[in-house]
Structure 1
């Protein structure tokens, strides 16, 4: 290999590393789930990819944000957005008086649970863990400002 080929190889390698670092810093971040609050959808120990572009504050998306409790990166499901009314009656979630389909929720573990109703302020989202029996979420710390959402879960990479 001559000197020019070596320089091209080193240059291409450095460019590849820069691209990967850029993707990691600004686009996609791997994340290992440390909590069971999103089970069964996202089991504890799962590895996920978080999209760090503009987070989806849309209902039903799973988002990441710094926990208002201890500032650790937290995953929760958006169940309502600004202007919507949230209530839980006998374990069933109601958004604007309508119960959304939530096949992932174990209603027996949270039977006789009541919350609200509360109106989500404009510019905020209401988040819940899928494992409602153990999740610390908007029922505890209130609605989350949309501007504090840092990422959206793309999809699990692996599950334990």
Structure 2
């Protein structure tokens, strides 16, 4: 009698367990849960960030600007760790040409696809079945600039979600980590030259909502700035005053404005010639401040098109 009563219960438990197991197997066949290691994708992805990766077989087409997970490349590219896998951004797809505009001396590429132009810049023509990938933080990134274009078969999947960062236990402050001004603090005044030879002061914007965007014209700019400048232009269209603070000389500020077709005011904010970077406690680009109508800091953070909303 008792066994006959237990049979339906056991069957139900078995079905439930089977559904759970099948669900887990299905999830693993579709997705990968990955913890970011290293800083090559900073500030988009930081060490110990968690991301969800959709396996490549589930995507119709790999698009430019997608962040992808690369499988073990150690054998093909003589990388130091046999377990190495990488998260990089696709910066060029088949049929396109990628030009390395960096001024720093980079390790010699291990591939046969690159050529040099009259200025000594390396060009890669991306062949069929391959893509060119780079880290957002190219100062420390090992990527296609060293390996050459990577095969589509080397890509395991596409990052589709970045899990919200949790507050971490406080640690002693790193001297190279940005320590921005506190919210509510009076924003320091400045008197800077713009690219048209006119001086602009913070006091001139009193009564207006103001966005200060601190950038530099360097080898990261062509990857990081376009989406940030698009957002800044959108904010300006809503009536917010936007000032682009360019770290460098007047000539570099004008090159920045020309190369990115910037219609917003660009100010010369050289760290070596002005105190504005010290006054605003900025130790890296790009960063931003939102200043309210009374001249107080309303918001401040690293400027990144994937991790903040100015709206």
TM-score (norm 2): 0.41
1:46 has 2:46 as partner: no
Greater RCO, 1 or 2 (C-alpha within 8 Å, sep 6+): 1
Q: Report the counterpart of residue 144 of structure 1 in structure 2.
A: 150
Question: Which residue, 48, 63, 67 being the options, matches 1:62?
Answer: 67
Tell me how far apart the structure 2 counterparts of residues 11 and 84 of structure 1 sit (CA, whole Å): 52
Instruction: Rate the CA distance shift 1:139–1:3 in 2: closer, same or farther, 3 A.
Output: same
Distance apart, 1:115 and its partner CA = 4.6
Q: Report the counterpart of residue 20 of structure 2 in structure 1.
A: 16
Gaps of 5+ in 2: 74-78, 104-119, 167-311
Q: Report the counterpart of residue 105 of structure 1 in structure 2.
A: none
Distance apart, 1:90 and its partner CA = 4.6
For residues 110-129 of structure 1, the aligned pairs below 5 Å read 115-129=121-135
Deviation track 1:35-58 (CA, whole Å, cap 9, x = no partner) reads: 110010011110111101435521
Q: Report the counterpart of residue 91 of structure 2 in structure 1.
A: 79
Tell me how far apart the structure 2 counterparts of residues 40 and 88 of structure 1 sit (CA, whole Å): 21
Tell me how far apart the structure 2 counterparts of residues 82 and 120 of structure 1 sit (CA, whole Å): 5
Q: Report the counterpart of residue 99 of structure 1 in structure 2.
A: none
Distance apart, 1:23 and its partner CA = 1.4
Q: Is the 8 A contact 2:92 2:98 kept in 1?
A: yes
Q: Is the 8 A contact 1:57 1:125 kept in 2?
A: no
Tell me how far apart the structure 1 counterparts of residues 51 and 142 of structure 2 sit (CA, whole Å): 20
Flag the structure with higher strand content. 1
Q: Report the counterpart of residue 195 of structure 2 in structure 1.
A: none
Give the secondary-structure state (helix, strand or coil) at the position aligned to 1:20.
helix
Gaps of 5+ in 1: 92-113
Q: Report the counterpart of residue 111 of structure 1 in structure 2.
A: none
Deviation track 1:118-142 (CA, whole Å, cap 9, x = no partner) reads: 2111110000000010000000111
**4+ residue stretches of structure 1 with deviation over 6 A?**
none
Instruction: Rate the CA distance shift 1:124–1:134 in 2: closer, same or farther, 3 A.
Output: same
Q: Report the counterpart of residue 89 of structure 1 in structure 2.
A: 101
Give the secondary-structure state (helix, strand or coil) at the position aligned to 2:163.
strand
Greater Rg, structure 1 or structure 2?
Answer: 2
Distance apart, 1:150 and its partner CA = 0.9
